[in-house]
């Protein structure tokens, strides 16, 4: 489970980015797949925040975390 904290779009994005970096979840998966990483109460809050920010549960995780920036070596 992810750590319990105040629910905001930026905190959700940080949590999801960490899951992607660990390889726990793939960017191509639907946002709904994130439900297993939150408690039931937390997931209700996450759903509300996502809805307010116009994300659909069928959207891809990559839509939520946005694009990556790469530094030239």
Q: What is the pLDDT of residue 25?
A: 96
Instruction: Give the 3-state secondary structure of 16-61.
Output: HHHHHHHCCCCCCCEHHHHHHHCCHHHHHHHHHHHHHCCCCCCCEH
The pLDDT assigned to 10 comes to 94
For 1-53, what is each residue's pLDDT tens digit? 555 456 899 999 999 999 999 999 999 999 999 999 999 999 999 999 999 99
Domain ranges in the chain are: 9-65
In tens, the pLDDT along 12-25 reads: 999 999 999 999 99
């Amino acid at each position: 489970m992810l750590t319990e904290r105040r629910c905001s779009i930026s905190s959700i994005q940080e949590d999801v980015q960490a899951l992607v970096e660990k390889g726990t979840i793939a960017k191509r998966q639907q946002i709904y797949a994130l439900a297993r990483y939150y408690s039931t109460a937390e997931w209700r809050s996450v759903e509300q925040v996502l809805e307010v920010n116009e994300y659909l549960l069928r959207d891809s995780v990559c839509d939520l975390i946005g694009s990556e920036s790469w530094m030239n070596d």
